[in-house]
Structure 1
Amino acid sequence: MAAESAPAGAGLDAAKAPGAAPGSGAALDAAASHADAVEVLKGYDGPHVRIMEVCGTHTHEIFRQGVRRLLPPAVELISGPGCPVCVTPVGYIDEAVRLALECGCTICTFGDLVRVPGSRLSLADARARGAHVRVVYSPQDGEAYAEAHPEEDVVFLSVGFETTTPSTCIAVRTAAERGVRNFSVLTANKTMPGAYEAMRDSCDLFLYPGHVCAIAGTKVCEDLVAEGVSGVVAGFTARELVCALAVGVTKFREGAPFFVNCYPRVVRPEGSPAARRLVASMMEPCDARWRGIGVIPDSGMRLNEAYRGFDALERHGLAHEEGVEPRGCRCGEVLQGRCTPEGCALFGRACTPEHPVGACMVSSEGACSAFYLYGAATKEEK
């Protein structure tokens, strides 16, 4: 197993990190002879490689910063299930709409969720029918609003991966400590290891999300190498993304499974033990449905028994909704890397940012949104 640290710097000379496993830097030394990572990517002449951008922010930044223009035909980027809004199932939106319209709750949510279509209505539609839907920037904003408005039953819509789940826990803990009983959360929090396993045969290597690894650490990624799964952790600047991709294709050409941490200034092998302890003290794993993938066992997080009173469905006696996917929408296939957004007949026609059919066109991390915003410009420049 090759587990290395490769700081993103000018070219790949920086990839030869002190403390790397003995003998593991040979491929990086060879790549560094190209002078810099840009030239490594442009000059790649190895076998065809499919790289899955697990993180939706990576998808947008790779487009926005022009990284795709550097890639030869042999390097193919595909989208993955790393957009939390996109993988949230339709039934979750239906639950939020019911809480708003039937139970009279004030919904506090991140802006991306407001226009995601449910089976019949979006939260924007519910708001047009008189529901109280407020856009907030953090779970703490939702808790503070509930504390300031004790006459309202406030529900925060908690979606996200390892990166955002600790913030929800802090908000719930604060509400418990302050006796704010009109605050609850509708959880759709997920963890990434199950998704890596589900997507392992969809690509040749993963571009792992740097912010998730900053919390979770790198052990899961390192362990997957023993199962033949390769990947690199990437940051979010142009230099960090180019370095990670260059290291990835260089190591891929060697032919052996590998893992390299190309974001060591933020990601440590141990991640954030404090954040993980907080979540473990308040939440427990549960089976979770991912749009396009289905149910992944133990990939969700829900409030444990001690905090179950802050679970919105439990509090209002509602059952989980199954939901109905929009007809003709291929978001599920996009999230599995089985097609590009442009392979969907609705893309750019019936489905646009102004009139979205699927979540991938709504979210600021969605692949369809990225292709719509930047895809045409990229083609023209090529």
Structure 2
Amino acid sequence: MKTAREIIETYDGPHVRIMEVCGTHTHEIFRLGIRKLLPEQVELISGPGCPVCVTPVSFIDEAIYLALEKGVTVCTFGDLVRVPGTKMSLAGAREQGAKIRIVYSPADAEKYAREHPEEQVTFLSVGFETTTPAGCLSVKSAKEDGLSNYSILTANKTMPQAYEALKGSADVFLYPGHVNAITGTHLCEALAEEGVSGVVAGFTAKELMTALAVALVKFQEGKPFFVNCYPRVVTQEGSREAQVLVDEMMEACDSEWRGLGMIPASGMKLRQEWQEFDARIKYQVPIIEGKPNPACRCGDVLQGKCKPSDCKVFGKVCTPQHPVGACMVSGEGACSAYYQYS
């Protein structure tokens, strides 16, 4: 019986495009040297699974508006600080006197608000199904603690609608294991019935190699398929507790994705009974239309239309030290992976 590595290295089937939906998969596959094992007819392309990368320019502009115009202390994950907005990044706003604090979780932001009642505090809530429950818990804690100085600015997104928007962009999806740990596998199974193939993958060398080998074997059979290659973490039903929490506190809304545009019902916002913690409502944030740098091809990279190295500014004008787009900033971004490893 062949090992996963032997299956990959000896693959002699038709050309196949496998989309690494998750940015962490992109980085790990590079870091572990797995790309060097692939035959030329196996093409890996990046997808929209980096939460910082798909967050639109307008969201950064909204955060800067809160910090500079409303005097709000903005708490955020570190990756967002250097993502370019229309005129500046959050780092640029900080140079102009804005209070920008890096936190490691929404709970840290809620704690800061509790310990600094004289400041208005907003947490930048970005991410997919994996991180949304934590944002909800921070709001729940703020209500229990009686805080009136805490809110969240939401850019939370859900993957199902993105998969629908990406139909036809790849032959096989490498589904993000951490998202499926929350959502379960029902959606992936339904997509297979619609003709969309994919495998759920973990993050170790063995798990990634296994997922890729299974994808290649199944692809040669010529039928749409779905296989859960991360069963130690991912179940069919997912995390019911997380699903119930998010459903209780949030509802679907239309959301803009960098590169993919506005996707109906692909975002999450606080329900009406929790709107006192919604920063857009609390501070009456105006509608802001962000303008990305026209030289940046992050949007095309996120759709699998091009590789980072195809972008004219990649590695020249755009570097991790001086990023032009979000895909070079984020630790999960495809451009940062190509720059670091390729």
TM-score, normalised by the number of residues in structure 2:
0.99
Moved segments of 4+, more than 4 Å: none
Report the counterpart of residue 261 of structure 1 in structure 2: 228
1-side partners of 2:120 and 2:33: how far apart?
45
1:91-240 matched pairs, under 5 angstroms: 91-240=58-207
State yes or no: 1:62 paired with 2:39.
no
1:321-340 matched pairs, under 5 angstroms: 321-340=288-307
State yes or no: 1:283 paired with 2:241.
no
5+ residue gaps, structure 1: 1-32, 376-382
2-side partners of 1:331 and 1:315: how far apart?
32
Report the counterpart of residue 380 of structure 1 in structure 2: none
Question: What is the SS of the residue equivalent to 1:50?
Answer: strand
**What is the one-letter code of the residue matched to 2:112?**
Y
2-side partners of 1:286 and 1:122: how far apart?
26
Report the counterpart of residue 301 of structure 1 in structure 2: 268
Shift of 1:97: 0.3
**What is the one-letter code of the residue matched to 2:220?**
R
State yes or no: 1:40 paired with 2:15.
no
Aligned-residue Cα RMSD (Å) equals 0.5
Report the counterpart of residue 241 of structure 2 in structure 1: 274
Report the counterpart of residue 366 of structure 1 in structure 2: 333
1-side partners of 2:74 and 2:34: how far apart?
38
**What is the one-letter code of the residue matched to 2:281?**
E
Instruction: Output one character per residue of 1:99-149: Cα deviation in whole Å (capped at 9) or x when no partner.
Output: 000000001000000000000010000000110000000000000000000
2-side partners of 1:327 and 1:193: how far apart?
28
Question: What is the SS of the residue equivalent to 1:77?
Answer: strand
1-side partners of 2:296 and 2:119: how far apart?
36
Shift of 1:320: 3.0
State yes or no: 1:72 paired with 2:26.
no
Shift of 1:78: 0.2
1:342-361 matched pairs, under 5 angstroms: 342-361=309-328
2-side partners of 1:123 and 1:141: how far apart?
19
Report the counterpart of residue 20 of structure 2 in structure 1: 53
Shift of 1:319: 2.0
1-side partners of 2:189 and 2:156: how far apart?
23
5+ residue gaps, structure 2: none
Question: What is the SS of the residue equivalent to 1:114?
Answer: helix
How many residues were matched structurally?
342
Instruction: Output one character per residue of 1:173-206: Cα deviation in whole Å (capped at 9) or x when no partner.
Output: 0001110110000000000000101111100010
Question: What is the SS of the residue equivalent to 2:88?
Answer: coil
Instruction: Output one character per residue of 1:253-303: Cα deviation in whole Å (capped at 9) or x when no partner.
Output: 000000000000000000001100000000000000000001111000000
2-side partners of 1:275 and 1:42: how far apart?
39
Report the counterpart of residue 277 of structure 2 in structure 1: 310
1-side partners of 2:294 and 2:159: how far apart?
28
**What is the one-letter code of the residue matched to 2:77?**
F
